[in-house]
Amino acid sequence: RNNMLEYVTPYKICVVVLIQELCLLKRKGGWQNRQINRALFKPDPNPVYRRDFCMLALKLIQSPDMDYQDFLKLLESDKYTLVPELLGNFKTQLQDLLKRDVGRIMDILINVSNIPVDSRTFDPFINKSSKIGIFLRRVRLFFDKLSFPETIGIYKAFRNYILSVKNDVVDTATAKTPQREEDSDVKLPNRLSMDMDLSSISEGMIQRSTLSPRFMSDQSCDSTEGEKRDVPVGLWSRRQAELFIAQQARLITDNPQQALPPQQLQTKLRDVIATNPEHAEAHFLSYLNCLRVREYCGAINSLFHYFDRKAPSSYEDEAVRCKGLRYAALNLAILHAQFNHKKEALCALKEAIALAHEANDNVCLQHAQAWMYKLQSEFKDVLIQRSILKSGELNLHYLSSFGLQSYANHAAINGGIPEQIFEVLSRSDILNCQHSMSDLMASGLSLRSAFWSLYGRTELACLYAQQLLHLDTSDPTIGTHLYTGGDALILAISNLANYFTLQGEYQIAWTLVNHGKERVSDSKWWVWSENILYFIESYHKGQWQHAQLAINQLATVDKMESLIRQSELLLMKGDGKGALESATKVLNSTNDPVLRIRALHLCAKANPRAAIMNLCDALHIANIHSIEYWEGLIALEIANIQLEMGLASQAVKVIDRSLLGMLSHGCYSDMSDALVLYAKSKVATASAASVQTKFDITSEAIKILGKAAELARKIENYSKVKTIVYLQAILCDSIGLLAERNKYAYEFRVLDEEFNTMDSPINTGQ
């Protein structure tokens, strides 16, 4: 086992040289020529240099070793304003180190603790207890532990580190100078170049590298013996690894888009484990990284390696051993749940619950119960209520708030009263605000948006979706603008994109979806949003082949939705039998109330003989779940049947009760259909009226149809526009408005020539 906490690497030598050059500049007075001021606060004419160098030094000390080329790019970037002479002096010093032997590097590292002193104030330029001072002392400490062969290895590694890139530090003559024979054997990889394999990172995978001083010494003494020894790379100290793992774990949990790409992160994790083989947290980060790309084998192997290294020793007490076992079972259950392996997840979860009961661990038990009601469908409301009460007693506020949101979601799906559902969400919002749980705040807003969309209040749904997008979820404690991205963000953007799609604003909807893919790129639901948008746009424009392509792609992520859309398309094509078959498959496969209502509505249109029965079933489900929007749509379909049966007066009464809600919350397509149906019903009621009454009613109907045509134009549904204009021409002809009739007839002719469709009134014989 390697006892070295960290190594002296070429990267650390470069950082030491940079700090020493700054101290030399300060001692020469190159950037602080000023009179000594004995005031309490001494004026500093160049505060930007001091501040930026301190921030740069902190980043260099805490960051893992980087390539020399990246190191120079960071120094030359505009992010930090450094002393003008510093970079040039730094490159000159590195060039001098390359021309000289190992003794020069030894002098620099040995004298690293001799911090220069200001000749006027006799104060050291660097405080020994500061971050930079501690770093310099640690470099000196670990350098003193090296043997002479290891020091030679450091020098060779430093030469290869600088010569690995062509830059201004090394001139052409130096770059072309042949290396000594012993130097040519040393090939230094700046980074481990391994292909990404999201499987377990085991100790057998640890690659050797010449950056390790210990390996350098073994290579110079006995190459055969050195090859047998598992020596880490030496690029990562334990503190650097802990900081890197904590930052990446936070980013993966809250906003994976800002974390490193999966392949790059996995390569860095291999380096970390090569340096620190017993670092269990690196394996857990590898497990999280595998979950990002849905890699099951790699995730479960990394999880096993994590708990293998977290396994308690034989001399530890029984309580500690049992704690590790029950949390291992709980994490295994979570892993299976992530991949939708419900049976395996429930088995592991029951084991975790049994172990938690034995140890009387209520915290572990409540976490297990939270996953239990997510995986089970029986007695779900009882499990959630118990979890909320017990979590409140144990001050587990996150689980309490999560339980309240889960209960609201369960109640909405099973026909709960809307007032009570929103009251439960309000209790969750109070906990979120009291304990600053920003992710659950976003989740609560997304649930409100989803519930209002379920109840048919599209404007309120969009309002809460926009409020979520404007919610500041940044975390000032980590110094960056970290915005939460996840299911809540996806749902909010999808709701907005769907709203603009139904209003005919296709370009805005595409922009929203593309923005969402930039925020959360690795989600399958963008495929869902894109294909829903593509289908609706193609459906409205009469591009049936494109609509069918969207349905086929949608089936890969949501089978039920694709069947519903397939039924709509077949119904538009006039294939009632095929539409009925697709809708029936949905009825036989799901208990989702909205999907069942939509399927019954399509069955009523495809099969007129059983229309009333299907519509009554759909209306019953809509009444139970308080889905008022679909109640209005079903009422309009019943009114259409009444109109076809010659019951125009009853149809007008039914339409009058539903028209206001449809115009207030409906999409443009449904609003247009409702106005057309209302105009037809009004004209049908005037068939037995006087001539003047019939003229007035028909004139009003023509105006209503004009509004319907305007709505259809907004969604670019020109097939519907042609049907409405054709109907307007017929109504004008029936009451003797010949000029208006000719105007609408000419408009229809222009539309029919420009947008030739198979469902034109001329082709269908209307």
Euclidean distance between CA atoms 269 and 191, whole angstroms: 12
- For the chain, the structural domain boundaries read 10-164, 238-480, 657-765
Q: What is the pLDDT of residues 49-64, one digit of tens each?
A: 778 888 888 888 887 7
Backbone torsions φ then ψ of 336, nearest 5 degrees: -65, -35
Task: Mean pLDDT check: name the lowest of 41-50, 127-136, 149-158, 691-700.
Answer: 41-50
Q: What is the pLDDT of residues 282-298, one digit of tens each?
A: 999 999 999 888 889 99
Judge contact between 163 and 170, C-beta under 8 A.
yes
**Bridge partners of 475?**
480
Judge contact between 333 and 349, C-beta under 8 A.
yes
Judge contact between 232 and 212, C-beta under 8 A.
yes
- Count of CA atoms in the C-beta half-sphere (13 A) of 31: 17
Residue 64, Cβ density class (10 Å: 0-12 exposed, 13-18 middle, ≥19 buried): middle
- If we measure between CA atoms, which residue out of 596, 607, 601, 602 comes closest to residue 632? 601
Instruction: Give the angle 682-688-690 at the CA atoms, nearest 5°.
Output: 95
Q: What is the pLDDT of residues 339-364, one digit of tens each?
A: 889 999 999 999 999 989 888 889 99
CA distances from 397 to 197, 246, 440, 449, 734 (A): 38, 23, 11, 23, 70
What is the percentage of the chain residues whose pLDDT exceeds 70? 81
Euclidean distance between CA atoms 143 and 15, whole angstroms: 15
Residue 583, Cβ density class (10 Å: 0-12 exposed, 13-18 middle, ≥19 buried): buried
pLDDT over 70 (residue 761): no
- If we measure between CA atoms, which residue out of 402, 461, 408 comes closest to residue 435? 402
In CATH, what number does 238-480 get?
1.25.40.10
Residue 298, Cβ density class (10 Å: 0-12 exposed, 13-18 middle, ≥19 buried): buried
Q: What is the pLDDT of residues 595-634, one digit of tens each?
A: 999 999 999 999 999 999 999 999 999 999 999 999 999 9
Euclidean distance between CA atoms 587 and 682, whole angstroms: 35
Backbone torsions φ then ψ of 427, nearest 5 degrees: -65, -40
- If we measure between CA atoms, which residue out of 243, 282, 240, 242 comes closest to residue 265? 282
> Which pLDDT value is given to residue 227?
35
CA distances from 634 to 90, 354, 395, 602, 643 (A): 78, 50, 47, 11, 14
The DSSP letter of residue 475 is B
Euclidean distance between CA atoms 392 and 616, whole angstroms: 43
Judge contact between 601 and 633, C-beta under 8 A.
yes
Per-position b or e across 299-326, b if 16+ CB within 10 A of its CB? bbbbbbbbbebeeeeeeeeeeeebbebb
Backbone torsions φ then ψ of 79, nearest 5 degrees: -70, -35
Here the tokens at position 459 are: 């404007």
Q: What is the pLDDT of residues 30-52, one digit of tens each?
A: 445 444 343 333 445 557 777 88
Q: What is the pLDDT of residues 397-448, one digit of tens each?
A: 999 999 999 999 999 999 899 999 999 999 999 999 999 888 899 999 999 9
pLDDT over 50 (residue 476): yes
- If we measure between CA atoms, which residue out of 358, 355, 353 comes closest to residue 372? 353
- If we measure between CA atoms, which residue out of 424, 360, 439 comes closest to residue 388? 424
pTM (2 decimals)?
0.75
Here the tokens at position 198 are: 């999201």
Here the tokens at position 434 are: 């009291």
Here the tokens at position 640 are: 């259409």
